[in-house]
Each structure stands twice: as structure tokens, then as C-alpha cells.
Amino acid sequence: MALRRISDLEQSFKSRDGNVIEWKAPSRWLYRYERDRGAVGMETGPGTGEFLWYVLERNNLTHAKRRVFDLINEDEL
């Protein structure tokens, strides 16, 4: 099931300092933004804890959400 809007992302975790934010896809796979790394990670499989990393053109939450949204829709379709 693909997402229609970025606001449909389900945030599942946010660190106190905001440097790490995670979202769950409808497929239950985990996507992670790490500000220090300047990248978004896509879990290699549900519950594995291993990620494929994609460096962001601009290191901010807006671009991270956009990239996660695009990755989810690419994976789901």
C-alpha cells in the first residue's frame, strides 16, 4: 500500500535531541533519519536492524521525510 501524503508517515521514534527519527512503513519496515550522518536509512528487512543509507542533498527533516516518503512508495509499488 503506497502512501498518498507525507503526513501519512507514522513516526515511531524520536530521540530527545531530535538527531534520530524513525518511521514505520505500512509494510512495517523501518526507515530512519540520522541528522549527524545526514542520511536516511531503509531497513534491509523487518526487524534486522541493518540499514541501507541514502545521503540527503540537504540535511534537514523536511528533506528526510520527502526521501522516506519516496523510498516507501518505490518499495510498495
In a domain, 33, yes or no: yes
For residue 77, give the 3-state DSSP assignment. coil
What is the pTM (predicted TM-score) of this model?
0.87
Q: Is 1 among the domain residues?
A: no
Task: Evaluate whether residue 44 is within a structural domain.
Answer: yes
Whether residue 56 lies inside any domain: the answer is: yes
Q: What is the largest CA-CA distance in the chain?
A: 34
Question: Does residue 27 form part of some domain?
Answer: yes
List the chain pLDDT tens, one digit each, 77 residues.
Answer: 567 777 778 899 999 998 999 998 877 889 999 999 999 999 998 889 899 999 999 999 999 999 999 998 887 65
Q: How many domains does the chain have?
A: 1
Query: CA-CA distance, 35 to 52, in Å (whole number)?
Result: 15
Q: Domain span at residue 30?
A: 6-76
